[in-house]
Amino acid sequence: MGKTWRIALAQLSVVDGERGANLAKMEAALQQASDESADLLVLPELNLTGLVEKEQMKALAEPRNGKSFQHIQKLVKTYPVSVLYSFPEYVSDEEMYITSCLVGKDGKALAYYRKTHLFTDESTVFKRGNEWTKVSLGDVTIGLLTCYDIEFPEPARKLALQGVHLLIVNSANMAPYEYIHRLFIQARALENQLFVGYCNRIGSNEKYDYHGQSAIVGPDGKILSEIAEDLEEIRLVDISLENIKKSKEVFNYLADRRCELYSKE
């Protein structure tokens, strides 16, 4: 991957309940990402299905090796870009997860992540995941989180301590909470001195309005690039691991912690 690494954020208008339409959007995003030599394409939370009621979600949910995964494998062979997509994972009628899958350029599933923190009534439809996920693509070690997960400091810190360079957060964050995620993605990047790639959806349904504001944040907490509110766009951003090294030359938050004090009451 060399000194720089190219991320493509796909800020898309997800069509709730229409898997075929969303797969078509995903294919178009893959094609553009491939044409522009991206190393990784990131899509929003539940980009394959959007958000629907529980019974419809059961009908749309799939196992990890389901038809959508097989279709995406074929797409990746045509457009060789690693891609992170999100879908409702079906285990049984009583066990579904909001799951992210990272597919490599060769079409193989490299990692899965089940959302660990469920927002409000998501828990009436989905189960919580119980494991953190990190995976390496070449020289870049990636940690995976989803939407509400970024609002807790512990997951990002846990992954940072495991050597993650880039935190990928796929999201379906709704109004009026955009400012919350903007604050948190900058805070998580700065306090852990790593990159954060945040990809949010746009569009509306009966419950929510989504306004995007996807962004890449550097290890100094500064926004490197952001997509305008409500704009459907594939944004490509180059990052360099040298920036992580530079961010730690004066101070190093992980090294300077006083863990022996934090456990005291």
**One of 25, 45, 62, 89 is an active-site residue; which one?**
45
Q: Is 259 a catalytic residue?
A: no
Burial 65-74 (b: 16+ CB within 10 A, else e): eeebbeebee
**One of 62, 89, 101, 147 is an active-site residue; which one?**
147
Q: Is 199 a catalytic residue?
A: no
Give the C-alpha separation, 46 to 14, whole Å. 8
**One of 115, 134, 199, 226 is an active-site residue; which one?**
115
Q: Which residues contact 2 (CB under 8 A, 6 or more apart)?
A: none
Residue 226: closest CA among 187, 190, 185: 185
- Count the alpha carbons within 13 Å of 38 in the hemisphere toward its beta carbon: 26
φ, ψ for residue 246, nearest 5 deg: -65, -35
137 and 106 Cβ atoms separated by less than 8 Å: no
**Overall residue count recorded for the chain in this entry:** 265
Q: Is 101 a catalytic residue?
A: no
- Catalytic residue positions? 45, 115, 147
